[in-house]
Amino acid sequence: MNIKQLLMNNSLFEQLTADELDQVVELMRPHELPANTTVFKEGGHGNYVCFVMEGTLQVLKSRDNGQESVIATIGEGQSVGEMAIIDGLPRSATVRSVTASSLLLLKRDDFNTLLSRHPETAAKILKAIAKMLSIHLRKTSGELSNLLFA
- pLDDT one-digit tens code per residue, 40-55: 999 999 999 999 999 9
> Does 130 map to a domain?
yes
pTM of the model: 0.86
- pLDDT one-digit tens code per residue, 76-104: 999 999 988 888 889 999 999 999 999 99
Using only C-alpha atoms, what is the Rg of the chain? 16
Contact between residue 49 and residue 79 where contact means Cβ atoms under 8 Å apart: yes
CATH code for the domain in which residue 49 is found: 2.60.120.10
> Does 57 map to a domain?
yes
**What's the full length of the chain, in residues?**
150
Residue 1: pLDDT over 70: no
Residue 146: pLDDT over 90: no
> Does 145 map to a domain?
no
> Does 147 map to a domain?
no
